[in-house]
């Protein structure tokens, strides 16, 4: 999608309805918009992936809540493999964020086949996020997600 201004940029953020239904999407998008303001980003011209790429560069290495969640949004937008220091920081700051990490890791697996289960388990081990992650599974998990959780994540629990 060609982006010419901030309004076009905002429209491109909602292009993928199946991703937008994820619970993690709402806080990630809200914080992304805060991060845009925080870094003074205004380079909204070009193809959507180019604009998102420049915004990602502007957020890289910033440790604010908005920047970390903004990086989560960008990962979801690109369907990037799960992981990254932003997830470790978010779950370390608040273990309840582990439920969002589970959603993001599973969504990437379901959408692309890239299995971030081992990375998710390592994150949950490091940040003691298992309890919060497991609370999120039964509420929303379908059979496929439960199977993925049991096969790809739980075997790496320490």
CA–CA separation, 129 vs 98, rounded Å?
6
31: which residues sit within 8 A by CB, 6+ positions away?
65, 66, 68, 69, 70, 72, 73
CA–CA separation, 18 vs 53, rounded Å?
22
What's the pLDDT score for residue 17?
76
Banded model confidence at residue 139, pLDDT cuts 50, 70, 90: low
CA–CA separation, 154 vs 109, rounded Å?
15
Q: 68-89: b or e for each residue (b if 16 or more CB lie within 10 Å)?
A: bbbbbbbbbbeebebbbebbbb
Q: What is the pLDDT of residues 1-39, one digit of tens each?
A: 899 999 999 999 988 777 777 889 999 999 999 999 999
Specify the 3-state DSSP secondary structure of 2. Answer: strand
Distance of CA 24 to the CA centre of its chain: 7
Supply the pTM of this predicted model. 0.90
What's the pLDDT score for residue 144?
85
What's the pLDDT score for residue 137?
74
Q: What mean pLDDT do residues 117-146 have?
A: 86
What's the pLDDT score for residue 116?
95
Strand 46-47 relative to strand 2-3: parallel, antiparallel, unpaired?
antiparallel
């Amino acid at each position: 999608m060609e982006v010419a201004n901030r309004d076009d940029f905002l429209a491109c953020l909602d292009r993928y309805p199946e991703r937008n239904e994820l619970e993690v999407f709402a806080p990630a998008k809200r914080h992304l918009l805060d991060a845009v303001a925080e870094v003074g980003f205004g380079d909204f011209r070009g193809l959507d992936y180019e604009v998102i790429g420049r915004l990602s560069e502007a957020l890289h290495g910033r440790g604010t809540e908005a920047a970390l969640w903004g990086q989560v949004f960008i990962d979801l937008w690109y369907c990037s493999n799960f992981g990254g220091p932003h997830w470790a920081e978010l779950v370390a700051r608040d273990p309840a964020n582990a439920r969002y990490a589970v959603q993001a890791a599973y969504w990437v697996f379901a959408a692309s086949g890239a299995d971030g289960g081992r990375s998710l388990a390592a994150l949950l081990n490091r940040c003691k996020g298992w309890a919060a992650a497991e609370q999120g599974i039964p509420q929303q998990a379908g059979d496929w997600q439960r199977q993925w959780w049991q096969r790809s994540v739980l075997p790496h629990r320490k």
